[in-house]
Structure 1
C-alpha cells in the first residue's frame, strides 16, 4: 500500500497565516521602504528617486534627535514602572478566593480598553482644574508643564499596561513549585530571601516577555501623546518618533520623509528588542 506523505501539511495549514502576514506586515514594510527612497507626497504624482537623502535629512535634523530622546525616556519609564508594579500586584493577588479572582479582572480591564478612551479619561483627571488637582488642593500642570508632561504620559501608559504585566507575573508565580518554597522555608529562609532566591529566578521568562512587550509599547507610543498633549506643551516636548511619523506624513504631506522615519524607527525597535531579548534569554539560562 502506498502511504501518502504528510510533509506538505504544515505548510498548508500555515498558508492562511503566512498570506495575512505577507499582506499586512511585509508588504507595508517594503512599500514604506520604497517610498523612503523617493520625494513622494500625498498630492503630487511626479515622484522622483532621491536615494538616501531622506535618511540623511533625518539624521542631521535636531527634531529627530529630540524625538529619539523623548521616546527613549518614555520607553525607559514604561519598562520600569509596570514591571515593578506588576510584580507587586501579582504577589498581592497570588491567593485563592473570589475576592482575588475579582481583583485580577479589575486590574486587567485597562489593558482591553482603547488607548484613546484611557487617554481621554486621564486627560480629564490631569487637567489644571481636574479631579487630581482638586483632591491635592494644588494647581500642578501635569499636562501643561513641559517638565511634567512627558512623565504624565509615561504614567498613563504604565497604568494601562500594569494589568498585563500583573497577569504574566501571576502566571509565573503559579508555576513555581510549592516544594521549592517549602524546602526554602524548612532551611530557614524568610519571605524576602525566598522571593530573591526561589521566586524571582522562576519569574525570568515572565520578565523577558513583559520587558520586550513594554519596549515595543514605548517605542510605538502615539495615541496617548496625540490625545493628552498633541506633542506639546512647547516645541515637541512630548513628540515621540511615532508621533512625528504621522505629523510629517499627513500634516506636512511628506510621505517619503515620513516613510524614512518609520523605517528608522523599525530598525531601532528591532535592534533594541533583539538585544534585550538575547540578554534576558541568556539570564534565564544562567539562572
Structure 2
C-alpha cells in the first residue's frame, strides 16, 4: 500500500528528462551544410539552365534584333506567328518524323544486338566495344564521315553501281530520301547506347527465374516474353527518354550533312531553324519564341512518355 507521504507527494513528470522541452538545433550549421554542399549545384543550375530559359522567354516577347534597334515589346505576337509560319510547321513535321525514327529503330535493334551479345567471352567483349565506339565519337566527325560515304559519287553508290544498280539514290541530294538518311545516321550513332543499357538490364535478370521457367517447359521465346522483357522495363524507359530528347533537339547532324536542305527545308529541324533565325537572320526575338515552344513540346512529350513507361514498370 502507498504511504500517506507518497499519496500526498506531487506527481513526478512522466519520463523525467524526456518531458523537458527539447532545444532546437541551431540554424547556422544547417545553413552552412546547405551552402557547402547544395549551393554549388543550385547556382550552376540557375546560371546555366534557369536563367537562359527566363532570358529567352523575355526575348520571345520582343522583336529583339541586335543590329536593328530599337527593341519593342510584342507580347505573344511571335508565338501567334509561329503557328501560321509554313517554315516552322515544316520543321515541326520534319522533327516529328526524325524523332519517331530515332526512338523506334535504335530501341528495336539495340535490344536485338544486346540479346546476341549477352554472353561471356573475349569476342563478345570486343564486339560490345565496337558497337559502343560511335557513341563516344563527335557528332560532327560522324556527320563528315557519313556525308562522304553517302555522297553521289561516294563509296556506297560506287558499290551499288558495281552490283548493277544503274541509278543509285541521292542519299543526301534527294528531298524524299535525305531526311531518312540523316535519321539513319543518328540511329547508327545512338545504337551503341541502347545496346549498353539493354545489356545492363539483361545482366540484372535473375537466372533463377529463367531456370524455373525452363523447368516449367517454357521455350526461349516464352521465357523472353514472360520473364526477360518485363524486367527490362527500366532499360526501355531510359532509352526511350534519352532518344526522344536527343532526337528532338538534333542540330549538328543537319548542319554538317545537309544544312537544312536539299530543297526547301527537307531536313531542317526546329533546333536548326532556331539557330538559323537567331544567328544568321539575327531575329533573336522570333528565334527565342521557337526555342520556348520547342522546350514546351519536349517537356510535355517527355513527361507523358515517362509517366506511361513508369506506370508500366509499376504494373509489371
Q: TM-score, normalised by structure 1?
A: 0.96
Residue in 2 aligned with 1:284? 313
Deviates more, 1:90-99 or 1:207-216: 90-99
CA deviation vs aligned residue, 1:14-43 (integer Å, no higher than 9, x gap): 211111111111111011000000000131
Residue in 2 aligned with 1:222? 251
Between Structure 1 and Structure 2, how many residues are aligned? 286
Q: TM-score, normalised by structure 2?
A: 0.88
Counterpart Cα distance in 2 of 1:7 and 1:94: 48
CA deviation vs aligned residue, 1:217-264 (integer Å, no higher than 9, x gap): 111000001111111111011110001001111111100000000000
CA deviation vs aligned residue, 1:171-229 (integer Å, no higher than 9, x gap): 00000000011011111111111111111100000000100001001110000011111
**Is 1:140 the counterpart of 2:169 in the alignment?**
yes
Counterpart Cα distance in 1 of 2:26 and 2:276: 56
Structure 1 residue corresponding to 2:57, chosen from 33, 43, 63: 33
Cα shift at 1:13: 1.1
Correspondence 1:174-185 to 2 at 5 A: 174-185=203-214
CA deviation vs aligned residue, 1:132-190 (integer Å, no higher than 9, x gap): 11122242101111111000000000000000010000000000000011011111111
**Is 1:242 the counterpart of 2:271 in the alignment?**
yes
Counterpart Cα distance in 2 of 1:43 and 1:97: 62
In the alignment, structure 1 segments of 5+ residues that lack a partner are none
Q: Which structure has the larger Rg? A: 2
**Which aligned segments of 4 or more residues in structure 1 are displaced greater than 6 angstroms?**
2-6
Structure 2 residue corresponding to 1:121, chosen from 118, 138, 145: 145
In the alignment, structure 2 segments of 5+ residues that lack a partner are 1-22
Q: What value does the CA root-mean-square deviation take over the aligned residues?
A: 1.4
Counterpart Cα distance in 2 of 1:7 and 1:96: 50
Correspondence 1:1-287 to 2 at 5 A: 7-8=30-31, 9=33, 12-137=36-161, 138=165, 139-287=168-316
